Amino acid sequence: MTTFAVFDSKPYDRASLGPAAESKGVTLKFYEFRLEPETVALVHDVEGVCVFVNDRIDAQVVAGLRDAGVGLLALRCAGFNNVDLDACHEAGLIVCRVPAYSPYAVAEHAVALLMALNRKVAKAHNRVHELNFSLNGLVGFDLNGRTAGIVGTGRIGQVTAEILSGFGMTILLTDPYPNQEWADEHGFRYVDLDELAANSDVMSLHTPLTPETLHIVDGDLLKKVKRGIYIINVSRGALVDTKALIKALKKGRVGGVALDVYEEEEGVFFEDHSDHILHDDTLARLLTFHNVVITAHQAFLTEEALADIADVTSENMRRFAAGEELLEGTVL
């Protein structure tokens, strides 16, 4: 029976991935700690490893996996900016991912963050629990008639655009590989990033993290945005220069921010730090703003998305063990 080691695993991983793998004849060893240079020596007697967004698969880890006889690196996520693909290929390590899992999960969370930010839901909730039923400081605005800018029109970006269009918003799009047929069908318009930023009341990020998109929202772009813009990021934290964002918030150039990701989230998100001091001064500063909403990388976390991830990942494990080709579109 084929055995895989699953790193950075949480109860929901074990509940979804465990039964899926068992049904395909794959045995899993679950580890709560992340796979990184300090832990790679613990990999042994497995045919493959399964990792998530905060595991660090650099050249040193790849060398350790190769020496341990690992043949498959299965990412239970879509993004792979934490993986040194060149090192993997040189070591003969097959790398696969889950390129698409319930785009509705992430898109709906983006819209939920926007609604929470705009209508001050967290502040209102806390007030009511303190028996403060006043409405002062809770004024939002109608999304209907406003403009939303979607940065990245892959499947998640498309679903987000369609949802926001349902509110009666005008939709602007930007993507180096435009899907013009889809945009025309819905009456959406592609523009360049500067024009989108200057004309959007809401800007939602849905692009992968690449060298070209690193800090795509930087100090220069933030000088060009429509004053009072809301910025939503449910994609990758490093799309945004956080220190530049804080400056824009302090100046009132940015009206509000809703984040499900953060560029220095490794070692912070997915863990309980409630009994500890937060040593990340930048994140701590973000948390002081009344017009900032942050969730800890939970946009993917729906029953449907977890089922999709478990099904694709376990099927690729089975196929690898059987010497079959992996699922189309999943190999990097």
Residue 328 known to be catalytic: no
Residue 297 known to be catalytic: yes
Among residues 109, 297, 315, 318, the one annotated as catalytic is 297
Residues 205, 236: Cα–Cα separation, whole Å: 8
- Beta bridge partners of residue 171, listed in sequence order: 148
Selection from 329, 318, 260 nearest residue 98 by Cα: 329
Residue 236 known to be catalytic: yes
Inter-axis angle of helices 303-322 and 11-23, to 10 degrees?
40
Token pair, residue 291, equals: 């017009």
Among residues 36, 108, 263, 265, the one annotated as catalytic is 265
Listing DSSP states for 90-143 in one string gives HTT-EEE----S-HHHHHHHHHHHHHHHHTTHHHHHHHHHTT----TT-----S
Listing DSSP states for 44-56 in one string gives -S-SEEEE-TT--
Residues 207, 34: Cα–Cα separation, whole Å: 25
What is the layout of strands, in order, in the sheet containing 94-96?
26-30, 2-6, 48-51, 72-75, 94-96
What's the first-to-final CA gap in the chain, in angstroms?
Answer: 25
Inter-axis angle of helices 303-322 and 103-118, to 10 degrees?
150
State phi, psi for 72 to the nearest 5 degrees.
Answer: -130, 130
Give the β-pairing of 189-190 and 2-6: unpaired
Among residues 236, 263, 315, 318, the one annotated as catalytic is 236
Distances (CA, A) of 75 to 101, 201, 235, 299: 12, 35, 16, 17
Residues annotated as part of the active site: 236, 265, 297
